[in-house]
Amino acid sequence: MEITGKIIAVLPEQGGVSKIGNEWKKQEYVLETYDQYPKKVCFQLFGNDKIEQAAIQPGEDLTIYFDIESREYNGRWFTNINAWKVERTNTETPAATPDNFAPASAPASFVPDFPPSNPTDDLPF
């Protein structure tokens, strides 16, 4: 699965030692989507190497690829959103090239070619 949005919070890094003695680290981030009704989603990166590689900063526009996993503990269920890939989205406007300029002969008041205002069939499809 994937989600795109802006990082609005970088939560403190957490870590510890597992039962078998291995060290672990995770960091959680909050992303706000660009939907009509924006949603806030908290996801995590697990592993020091992934955290350092991603180097996520507040305000960045990212696409996050993730898996959702739930587990039961003492009769309650907990859900984690585990990111496995982070891509920075290109929010810059493209450089001006001859291909994205309007033709010089285009009229100043361009009127789009829409159907007549009183169509006989008003269904949208």
pTM: 0.68
Domain boundaries, the chain: 2-88
Q: What does the pLDDT profile of the chain (125 residues) look like in tens digits?
A: 999 999 999 999 999 998 999 999 999 999 999 999 999 999 999 999 999 999 999 999 999 999 999 999 999 999 999 999 999 987 554 444 444 444 444 444 444 554 555 555 555 55
CATH number of the domain at 2-88, please?
2.40.50.140
- 42-46 long-range contacts (CB < 8 A, ≥24 apart) are 42/11, 42/81, 43/81, 43/82, 43/83, 44/80, 44/81, 44/82, 44/83, 45/82, 45/83, 45/86, 46/82
